[in-house]
Structure 1
């Protein structure tokens, strides 16, 4: 059974909890930002909620556990309701990855608090469980932050790039979007990810961790 999953059985509880939290808040952030920008489509479809059942795609979540790649239920957005479609489109697209970065910040902060016995006295298995969960949540949310900013459809980074592009380039991007999505799947589901995706994570994750450390650590000196 353990060999069926990408993660060990010991890791699975932490991965599942972290995924549920990360996906739920990520999609809620999209829905909330769209609503504040004038589009109530997601709200009307029950997506402006912290209920994981509204955001988790069972197949997408299962594939993450099996192959390390999956998805949540996309939030519906009607850009025609935006007074400034491109600016508000960027804000809505960026809200998801930014929410993951915010979760990473909070979990790293909690790890610092946990390590400070005077602030949060805890020891034994309870401390070990909380520490493992927070560490997993920290790493996973940084990965989701970086991954969703990749400039491939249908990721948030591509949507941001599309809204930033001049009209003539944007029309070409929309025309070839389906081919870009196929290319993206070929990259993440084949050994090509070792040359395209993983180098980004290898450089990006330590950079984000170190940046968060530089922000948080002075608070505990």
Structure 2
């Protein structure tokens, strides 16, 4: 265990996860603040300080287990002029921020020369950091769009549904975390349903980012 923690790969993963989760939560908080809800600002969440956003247990879980989390950004929908639209934008802000970070990483990868005898350590460090940044951010983008509460995808779906259906759908909030844990922790559900669907979406987004003509 100790050998894994002090390995270079773990360090790259740790940095990528901390930065990606921080930007994800900051995007939620900043968007809500811009749309009129000062609740995240009062809670000290409109910041890029990782301490404000990271949950120690959630961070450990995401590094060593199949699932993890950060501190949810507090919101008050009554402060929005257009609550449904604003909540949709706030929910989408986190995954979109991860998609932008992934795009930045894959773009910068094109400009980092392969390691040579001169400057090999610097180039290899940049390559590994950008690769893990790309992998982590694409993973967070795809995972958070799953329409199961409390993930962002469920907030987006609820904002698009008619009021009655949105209310019924929101009742899944009580069971959402358990459903997620079932899909992730029970081998048949994980291996035959969750992982194939997740891997397909992950590969599609990764391929699209790497081949997008506006990034060449």
TM value normalised by structure 2: 0.91
- Identify the residue that residue 182 of structure 2 maps to in structure 1: 186
Shift of 1:213: 2.1
Q: Secondary structure at the match of 1:115?
A: coil
Aligned counterparts of 2:6 and 2:199: Cα–Cα separation in 1: 21
Unaligned runs of 5+ in 2: none
Which digits, 9 at most, give the CA deviation of each residue in 1:93-135, with x for residues without a partner?
Answer: 0000000000000001110011389xxxx74111111101110
Which of 196, 200, 210 matches 2:207? Answer: 210
Which of 194, 207, 213 matches 1:197? Answer: 194
Shift of 1:218: 6.5
Shift of 1:217: 7.7
- Identify the residue that residue 101 of structure 2 maps to in structure 1: 103
- Identify the residue that residue 67 of structure 2 maps to in structure 1: 69
Does the CA contact (< 8 Å) of 1:31 and 1:47 recur in 2? yes
Which digits, 9 at most, give the CA deviation of each residue in 1:112-161, with x for residues without a partner?
Answer: 011389xxxx7411111110111011011000000000011100000111
Q: Please give the residue correspondences for 1:1-221 in structure 2 after superposition, counting only pairs within 5 Å.
A: 1=1, 9-115=7-113, 123-191=119-187, 192-215=189-212, 219=216
- In the alignment of these two chains, the number of paired residues is 213
Does the CA contact (< 8 Å) of 1:109 and 1:216 recur in 2? no
Aligned counterparts of 2:28 and 2:175: Cα–Cα separation in 1: 25
Shift of 1:69: 1.0
Does the CA contact (< 8 Å) of 2:113 and 2:123 recur in 1? no
Shift of 1:188: 1.6
Does the CA contact (< 8 Å) of 1:27 and 1:75 recur in 2? yes
Aligned counterparts of 1:196 and 1:79: Cα–Cα separation in 2: 34
Deviates more, 1:86-95 or 1:177-186: 177-186
Aligned counterparts of 2:178 and 2:49: Cα–Cα separation in 1: 31
Shift of 1:44: 0.9
Deviates more, 1:24-33 or 1:159-168: 159-168
Q: Secondary structure at the match of 1:114?
A: coil
Shift of 1:74: 0.6
Aligned counterparts of 2:87 and 2:215: Cα–Cα separation in 1: 36
Unaligned runs of 5+ in 1: none
